[in-house]
Homo-oligomer: A and B are copies of this chain.
């Protein structure tokens, strides 16, 4: 068995949208151009595919495999890392996707907590994660913490306790929550080879000041270059500049939230900004009302000129 790759994941990671055709079928053709766009226009070197932004729960297992395969194929030699999210409500499905991710050369896998039957303790959640990690033991494994959506009440720091004993391939957390006591405790307990990635784009600066090693988010699809500037400013101690960029992102999202920001609107904004053909979202995500997308795109261009 090959050892787990120790290429620590840092910096910006774009949580990709899933390209669909106008008929709602997966559109593998657009993945190559999507990757080129992220690299060339947004300065993005890592992607997180088939996650929440990618509408993974709305895809069949077969579709997720096709997509993961294409992302890995087209990213080869271009992207630094492709993390494939393999979390499902069904452990069986997750295991199948984890095995597949290993075969296609993913850089790592991530798993969200199941949210229909919610794990009531850290122990049962860790065991669930372990059962998935165990079928792809050579792949770096990330826990994806998204409590506002899953409504799972287990703090991430409790999930991390002794987790390397159960999951030797454990390498970090995509922490998409606003409980920074919990995030701080995750950071302070982390060994150096773990990556603590913050996932609430609109308050990334808070994640950074508490020691995040990188960030995963959907807005980095269309704001990667700006947020790379935010990180650079933060790293050189220029908080005025870093804060200014953070406030720009907040202004955009605040505006969008008032209109009714959801994944469909988010996807359409990406289409407007990038020019890529990503298609509509799939039900139950509502297609973006045409007027919303135009207004938000206009706001985007007004703020980020």
Closest to A243 in B: B211
The A interface, classified by DSSP as helix, strand, loop or mixed, is helix
Q: Which of B113, B117, B283 contacts A57 (CB 8 A)?
A: B117
A113 closest partner in B (C-beta)? B284
- Whether A262 contacts B120 by the Cβ 8 Å rule is yes
A62 to B239, CA, bound (A): 46
Select from chain B the residue with minimum beta-carbon distance to A239: B209
The answer to whether the Cβ of A93 comes within 8 Å of any Cβ in the partner chain is yes
- Chain B residues near A251 (CB, 8 Å)? 185, 188
A22 touches B (CB below 8 Å): no
In the complex, 15 of the A-B residue pairs with CB atoms within 8 angstroms, ordered by the A residue number, are A119-B284, A119-B286, A120-B260, A131-B283, A151-B151, A180-B202, A181-B203, A184-B250, A185-B250, A185-B254, A206-B209, A209-B209, A209-B239, A210-B246, A237-B237
Q: Given A149-B116, A178-B178, A286-B124: A184 and B247 within 8 A (CB)?
A: yes
Q: Tell me, rounded to whole Å, the shortest Cβ–Cβ distance linking A121 to chain B.
A: 8
Q: List 10 extra interface pairs beyond A58-B117, A59-B90, A89-B89, CB under 8 A.
A: A57-B117, A58-B91, A117-B284, A124-B286, A127-B283, A157-B254, A180-B202, A181-B203, A184-B246, A185-B247
Work out how many copies of this chain go into the complex.
Answer: 4
Knowing A180-B203, A246-B210 touch, does A118 contact B185 (C-beta < 8 A)?
no
Closest CB-CB distance, A104 to chain B, in whole Å? 20
**A206 adjacent to B180 (CB under 8 Å):** yes
Q: Is A164 an interface residue (CB 8 A)?
A: no
Q: Which of B58, B210, B284 contacts A243 (CB 8 A)?
A: B210
A113 to B283 CA separation, bound complex (whole angstroms): 11
Q: Nearest CB to that of A209 among chain B residues?
A: B209
Q: Which chain B residue lies CB-closest to A257?
A: B181
Knowing A116-B115, A178-B180, the reply to whether A89 touches B58 (Cβ < 8 A) is yes
Q: Which residue of B lies closest to A118 (CB)?
A: B284
Shortest CB-to-CB span from A167 to chain B, Å, is: 14
Q: Is A103 an interface position by the 8 A CB rule?
A: no
- Complex contacts, A180 vs chain B, CB 8 Å: 178, 200, 202-203, 206
Closest to A263 in B: B117
A60 at interface (Cβ–Cβ under 8 A)? yes
